[in-house]
Structure 1
Amino acid sequence: MDFIDLKTQYRKLKPSVDARMHAVLDHGQYILGPEVTELEQRLAARTGAKHCITCASGTDALLMAMMALGIGPGDEVITAPFTFFATGEMIALLGAHPVFVDIEPDTYNIDATQIEAAITPRTRAIMPVSLYGQCADMDAIQAMADRHGIPVIEDAAQSFGALYKGRASCNLSTIGCTSFFPSKPLGCYGDGGACFTNDDQIARVLLELRNHGQDRRYHHIRLGLNGRMDTLQAAVLLAKLEVFDTELVARSEAATRYAALLRDVVPTPQVKDDRTCVWAQYTIEVEDRDAVQQAMAEQGIPTAVHYPVPLHLQPVFASMHLPEGSFPVSERAGKRVLSLPMHPYLTPPAMQSVASAVKAALAQPAAR
């Protein structure tokens, strides 16, 4: 069993993927070719954002977003410690300081009620993470940010396609950033990402930043990076967009089936009534996770942990002097979360096998 079945997806999309990629091979515009422009137009239209600027990865998207807002040494950016490392990494890479706020125990997203207490005169942005495919409480966060005159950057690396109060993730704040890493609900065949904004000036700066800070060829008005998306990756994403909505329905049906199979067995993911989830991960909580993972592996069921060590406990952030106990909800989640196979091509028998393996693993004495 595959944790994420990209092979089955490719077999279903092979004619479209192959045709799109061969078109790029035929015209030979491998950097910023016409497929990149087409993709940006399609993604912007889908989210309702005025601008979409594709880039080389979700990590680059976060970096570019903060650079476009002028964030640098000594500034503070508020975010959650329970996330992929890139969220805090890009803040620190710019010389800014990540300021962590704990998460909600049911959604794993930043607890909006705790953010205001973390705001200081040095706060330059709030960066909520839409983890596992569900948006954070973006209206509450944006209202708070507006009161303090602070921009919001949505780290939507896992939530492209999700809705919050009927509005699209990536178009809920000053800048939305997403990733097209292969395992994402909409993923390419390598690294890829995008920034979204309704601000014309920010969009112009993002375009310059992703191409070495130039406003025209060999005329560099700012420091930037090589953040361009490869045309071949844009071609893959255009092919996958054709079935994206169908796949989101299949993911939702799989999540509903998992919830029924695992009800009263383990804590299962909760989705707020005012939003949808694209199920980038289907994550449960268990005691003695190592034993459960081992028992499931012995039954041929792959699992993963997203994420075992919160950012404040990572060695590189030891100088922040935030010991264990600083963010108890994040720390508890890091010890207990376990992600199960999740993709649009999961069959009911496969899901039954996963659920049976979870139950059997929990029945073992070491996992009780």
Structure 2
Amino acid sequence: MTVPLLDLTRQYVPLRDDILAVIDDLCSSQRFILGQAVADFETEAAEVLEVEHAIGVTSGSDALLVALMALGIGRGDEVIVPTFTFFASAGVVHRLGATPVFVDIDPVDYCLSIDQVREAISPRTKAIMPVHLFGQAADMEGLMEVAGGIPIIEDCAQAWGADFKGQQVGSMGLMGAFSFFPSKNLGCFGDGGMVTTNDSEVAANLRELRMHGQSGPYLHPKVGGNFRIDALQAEILRVKMPHAAAWIDGRRRHAALYTELFANAGLSEIVELPKALEGRGHTFNQYVIRTSKRDELRAHLTGLGIGCGVYYPLSLHLQPCFAELGYKEGQLPVSEQASREVLALPVFGELSDDELREVVEGIAAFYG
């Protein structure tokens, strides 16, 4: 039996008629830029995420970028980011002429190490960007205590629906940045993103920045960019959003079943399973195990037709484009070790129990 790492067609088929209907309605209206579709999407998303403002943008990467722009971050500034994450977390900082300051991760939750953040803060630190990695909320309580008055931008790209002690991710920092890339727990039909905030002045600034800094017709008090989410993506997300909680519940159920299956197979002490920490609302955007034989296991599973992936094979502080920052191998050891050992397994909500058993049986055969 082949088992895909992700199969979005299984999610699409039950929603096909509803999605095609809203696409047809939008095509009939020919209103593709902002408008009521985007406004309704933003209102509904803000209600789900329990925030005052939600601003739809072009992608998760642009959500981070425009959030930094709203803070006026630029040359000479520093932004603290994890080194074990997707490239955009640091790329947007560099793009504005600021310096990404890489810090190591906590070995259990893969999120920013609070102690490392404390040591990295300097007079030039203008923002801290924790990533709620793999769908589990970072220690926002600890981060906000360490940050003091430094703005926190939550990178929620992988964490729609996660919460920290009952508070939705994206509602605790000054801003939250979401991605609706198709593989996310809530994904659109291409690129899409959103910035959340409870600050009305920040929200107004974000709305201007996503329209080239425009405050009125052809009046630009600032330079922004073209960061508007397409109305088409907004309408698709409005269809999918009410189902996201159930999809996440499916992922959580599969994670629990994995724990049971690994234990029954005698693998719990051989591979390290992900830990859903109390009060962190893990949504399992990825289900990530660890093993010192990661590459060999990955090749074995691939040979069996079982999908798996590596997030992320090279920590950002070791990427060639950041060589000028002077980081050396061994400097951030927790992240570097994770990059050698992590392996993501299929966990999406539409998987069958038999498919999960097939995955664990494949891993058991490797170690058998």
Task: Quote the offset at 1:93 in angstroms.
Answer: 0.6
- Give the RMSD, CA atoms, in angstroms: 1.0
- 1:85 paired with 2:87, answer yes
Give the distance between the partners of 2:41 and 2:159, measured in 1 at CA: 18
Letter in 1 for 2:207: L
Give the distance between the partners of 2:245 and 2:151, measured in 1 at CA: 30
Q: What's the counterpart of residue 337 of structure 1?
A: 342
Q: What's the counterpart of residue 131 of structure 1?
A: 133
| Segment of structure 1 superposing worse, 348-357 or 136-145 | 136-145
Q: What's the counterpart of residue 37 of structure 1?
A: 39
Residues 117-152 of structure 1, C-alpha deviation per residue, up to 9 Å, x if partnerless?
111110000111100001110111112222xx2100
Residues 157-202 of structure 1, C-alpha deviation per residue, up to 9 Å, x if partnerless?
0011101100101111100001000000000010000000011111
Q: What's the counterpart of residue 279 of structure 2?
A: 274
Moved over 4 A (4+): none
Give the unaligned 5+ runs of structure 1.
Answer: 364-368
Identity of aligned residues (%): 42
- 1:11 paired with 2:1, answer no
| Segment of structure 1 superposing worse, 61-70 or 136-145 | 136-145
Give the unaligned 5+ runs of structure 2.
Answer: none
Letter in 1 for 2:98: A
The answer (yes or no) to whether the contact 2:111–2:132 under 8 Å persists in 1 is yes
Q: What's the counterpart of residue 143 of structure 1?
A: 145
SS in 1 for 2:279: coil
Describe how 1:163-182 pairs up with structure 2 within 5 A.
163-182=163-182
> TM-score if structure 2 supplies the norm length?
0.96
Residues 240-285 of structure 1, C-alpha deviation per residue, up to 9 Å, x if partnerless?
1121111111111011111211231410111211121111100001
The answer (yes or no) to whether the contact 2:132–2:158 under 8 Å persists in 1 is yes
SS in 1 for 2:364: helix
Task: Quote the offset at 1:361 in angstroms.
Answer: 2.4
Q: What's the counterpart of residue 20 of structure 1?
A: 22
Q: What's the counterpart of residue 52 of structure 1?
A: 54
Equivalent of residue 321 in structure 1, options 318, 326, 334: 326
Q: What's the counterpart of residue 76 of structure 1?
A: 78
Task: Quote the offset at 1:305 in angstroms.
Answer: 0.6
- 1:355 paired with 2:360, answer yes
Give the distance between the partners of 1:302 and 1:312, measured in 2 at CA: 28
Give the distance between the partners of 2:91 and 2:367, measured in 1 at CA: 35
Q: What's the counterpart of residue 188 of structure 2?
A: 188
Give the distance between the partners of 1:241 and 1:129, measured in 2 at CA: 22
Q: What's the counterpart of residue 292 of structure 2?
A: 287
Give the distance between the partners of 1:152 and 1:175, measured in 2 at CA: 7
Q: What's the counterpart of residue 237 of structure 1?
A: 237
Residues 47-93 of structure 1, C-alpha deviation per residue, up to 9 Å, x if partnerless?
11110001000000000000001110010001110000000000111
Task: Quote the offset at 1:33 in angstroms.
Answer: 3.0
SS in 1 for 2:362: helix
- 1:102 paired with 2:104, answer yes
What count of residue pairs does the alignment treat as equivalent? 361
- 1:346 paired with 2:351, answer yes
Letter in 2 for 1:163: D
Give the distance between the partners of 1:224 and 1:90, measured in 2 at CA: 14
Letter in 2 for 1:50: E
Give the distance between the partners of 1:155 and 1:112, measured in 2 at CA: 16
Give the distance between the partners of 2:232 and 2:262, measured in 1 at CA: 40
> TM-score if structure 1 supplies the norm length?
0.96
Task: Quote the offset at 1:293 in angstroms.
Answer: 1.2
Give the distance between the partners of 2:366 and 2:188, measured in 1 at CA: 34
SS in 2 for 1:338: strand
Give the distance between the partners of 1:134 and 1:258, measured in 2 at CA: 17
Letter in 2 for 1:42: E
Letter in 2 for 1:233: Q
Q: What's the counterpart of residue 305 of structure 1?
A: 310
Residues 302-332 of structure 1, C-alpha deviation per residue, up to 9 Å, x if partnerless?
1111100000000000111111101000000
The answer (yes or no) to whether the contact 2:138–2:280 under 8 Å persists in 1 is no
Residues 7-26 of structure 1, C-alpha deviation per residue, up to 9 Å, x if partnerless?
01110111221112112111
Residues 204-234 of structure 1, C-alpha deviation per residue, up to 9 Å, x if partnerless?
1100111111011211111111111111111
CA pair 362-33 structure 1, distance change in 2 beyond 3 A: farther
Give the distance between the partners of 1:103 and 1:211, measured in 2 at CA: 35
Give the distance between the partners of 2:218 and 2:4, measured in 1 at CA: 46
Letter in 2 for 1:307: Y
Give the distance between the partners of 1:216 and 1:23, measured in 2 at CA: 29
Give the distance between the partners of 2:150 and 2:137, measured in 1 at CA: 19
Give the distance between the partners of 2:90 and 2:351, measured in 1 at CA: 33
Q: What's the counterpart of residue 159 of structure 2?
A: 159
Letter in 1 for 2:328: P
Q: What's the counterpart of residue 208 of structure 1?
A: 208
